[in-house]
Amino acid sequence: MSTLRLGCIADDFTGASDLANNLVRAGMAVVQTIGVPSQPVADVDAVVVALKSRSTAAADAVARSLAALRWLQAQGCSQFYFKVCSTFDSTPAGNIGPVAEALLDALGADFACVTPAFPENARTVYQGHLFVGDALLSDSGMRNHPLTPMTDANLVRVLQAQVQSRVGLVGHAVVRRGPEAIRARIAQLRAEGCRFGIVDAVADQDLLALGLALHDAALVVAGSGVAIGLPRNHGLAPSAAAATLPPARGAAAVVSGSCSVATNQQVAAFVQAGGPAWQVDPLRIAQGHDVVGEALAWATPLLGAQPVLLYSGAAPAPVQDVQGRLGAARAGALVEQTLAAIAKGLVERGVGRLVVAGGETSGAAVQALGVQQLRIGPQIDPGVPWCFAGARACGVDVHLALKSGNFGGPDFFRDAFARLA
């Protein structure tokens, strides 16, 4: 009999992994899918469907989210989780509000709690205002985001601008009194005609109380934090069993296309420790050289238990130089395609344990490998778990760790493989 209970719809890829990671830590067996899958999912407690709908047109985000909802309903899910960004990335046009309203309509439900709070990750909500560390959202770097600048920290106001229905607040004075008080406040908001309630949470215990209060809620709209409180409603508790993956096999490799500060440090630490590393030169790709072939010829004799690193990242100045010559979008696409082809070539040559650094780079690699589903395993560092996937394009199974640029400690490229042993 299927144990599938929770159906999740995430508005981007690395956000989906972050949510899946939290659910696994709280005791659920989880599969993450890339888009709405064609195959059913077996033997898990939750599925996270990763969409790319955070910054698309609202109508498109709604259509994709409803397609995901229908698929999750057909799989037998009884509760649904719309995963949004922990900095509530959106504009007055959406997409959080329009998608949340469409999901409520489709479920025939009349209320959803909404909170991006995740104190462990320094995201807290108080009096409806979102803090990033010790700064209000509107004073954080998010105010300059190129696509979704967040200039107002008051989430009641932010969400209200995106929806037809009324938005209220479940304030901290209520949340700290526990699940019953939260449920009473939700009933009050519904009686007042509200369809959404922004929920304050400044500590894990607030999220745990909220989780219990939501045991029969049809829909929750949240960052990844609320995930820590939901599995208990199904009699599940944190255990290593949920994170168990099949044994790892094959050679170890890292492919990195991130230029983020944390990744640059990880590359430097790997090289300093004597790890074999090969740098991809974007200008040689643009000149038409067979960079994929050169990289694979370098890596193949070195493949084994110790990881090899193939990377494109550089300091800001050389990256800007390349972007000036090729254009930022073309440079990015060329490097992504090259690294994805290298990742595929490595798996074809026997790599069974692969770390990919960079959000966009990970998306390209997963696509090149033909991965459609990832079983989520043990956490390496916060927000980054090992996963197990069938690489359809290569006809083999592979363990993957997909690291968003700024995640992970300095020795991530070594620690990751130790975590899998």
Options 1-9, 33-41, 113-121, 259-267: segment touching ligand ADP (CB under 6 A):
259-267
Options 181-189, 209-217, 353-361, 383-391: segment touching ligand ADP (CB under 6 A):
353-361
22 versus 258: smaller Cβ distance to ligand ADP:
258
Strand ranges inside 287-395, DSSP E:
308-311, 351-357, 373-381, 384-391
Of 312, 383, 387, 416, which one interacts with ligand ADP (CB under 6 A)?
312
Are 371 and 34 contacting, i.e. CB atoms less than 8 angstroms apart?
yes
Options 60-68, 135-143, 330-338, 408-416: segment touching ligand ADP (CB under 6 A):
330-338
Least distance (Å) between residue 412 CB and ligand ADP? 13
Options 16-24, 29-37, 76-84, 311-319: segment touching ligand ADP (CB under 6 A):
311-319
124 versus 404: smaller Cβ distance to ligand ADP:
404
Q: Which amino acid is at 107?
A: L
Q: Does 383 bind ligand ADP (CB under 6 A)?
A: no
Of 313, 345, 377, 385, which one interacts with ligand ADP (CB under 6 A)?
313
CB neighbours of 152 closer than 8 A, spacing ≥ 6? 137, 138, 158
Are 346 and 253 contacting, i.e. CB atoms less than 8 angstroms apart?
yes
Least distance (Å) between residue 85 CB and ligand ADP? 14
Q: Does 319 bind ligand ADP (CB under 6 A)?
A: yes
Q: Does 101 bind ligand ADP (CB under 6 A)?
A: no
Site string for ligand ADP, 218-257 (x = CB under 6 A): ---------------------------------------x
Residues in contact with ligand ADP, counted by CB under 6 A, come to a total of 22
Q: Does 291 bind ligand ADP (CB under 6 A)?
A: no
CB neighbours of 320 closer than 8 A, spacing ≥ 6? none
112 versus 387: smaller Cβ distance to ligand ADP:
387
Rounded to whole angstroms, the Cα distance separating 236 from 242 reads 10
Q: Does 322 bind ligand ADP (CB under 6 A)?
A: yes
Which DSSP string do the residues of 372-409 spell out, in sequence order? -EEEEEEEEETTEEEEEEEETTTTEEEEEEEE-TT-S-
Rounded to whole angstroms, the Cα distance separating 307 from 421 reads 13
Q: Does 258 bind ligand ADP (CB under 6 A)?
A: yes
Q: Which amino acid is at 216?
A: D
Q: Does 343 bind ligand ADP (CB under 6 A)?
A: no
Of 101, 360, 398, 402, which one interacts with ligand ADP (CB under 6 A)?
360
Q: Does 86 bind ligand ADP (CB under 6 A)?
A: no
- Report which of 175, 171, 213, 168 is spatially closest to residue 192, judged by C-alpha positions: 168
Residue position matching structure tokens 């990256």? 319
Are 217 and 113 contacting, i.e. CB atoms less than 8 angstroms apart?
yes
Extract the tokens encoding 303. 């493949």
- What residues are paired with 166 via a beta bridge? 194
Are 71 and 48 contacting, i.e. CB atoms less than 8 angstroms apart?
no
Helix (H), strand (E) at residue 361: helix 359-369
Of 225, 332, 352, 408, which one interacts with ligand ADP (CB under 6 A)?
332
Of 128, 231, 405, 408, which one interacts with ligand ADP (CB under 6 A)?
405
- The backbone torsions φ and ψ at residue 5, rounded to the nearest 5 degrees and listed phi first, read -120, -50
Rounded to whole angstroms, the Cα distance separating 107 from 111 reads 10
Least distance (Å) between residue 122 CB and ligand ADP? 19
How many CB atoms lie under 10 A from the CB of residue 315?
Answer: 9
33 versus 361: smaller Cβ distance to ligand ADP:
361
Of 7, 97, 358, 408, which one interacts with ligand ADP (CB under 6 A)?
358
Least distance (Å) between residue 166 CB and ligand ADP? 37
Residue position matching structure tokens 């949470």? 201
17 versus 263: smaller Cβ distance to ligand ADP:
263
Options 122-130, 166-174, 198-206, 328-336: segment touching ligand ADP (CB under 6 A):
328-336
CB neighbours of 42 closer than 8 A, spacing ≥ 6? 2
213 versus 322: smaller Cβ distance to ligand ADP:
322
229 versus 405: smaller Cβ distance to ligand ADP:
405
CB neighbours of 200 closer than 8 A, spacing ≥ 6? 115, 117, 125, 126, 127, 128, 169, 170, 171, 172, 174, 175, 206
**Sites of contact with ligand ADP (CB under 6 A):** 257-260, 263, 282, 312-314, 319, 322-323, 331-332, 335-336, 358-361, 404-405
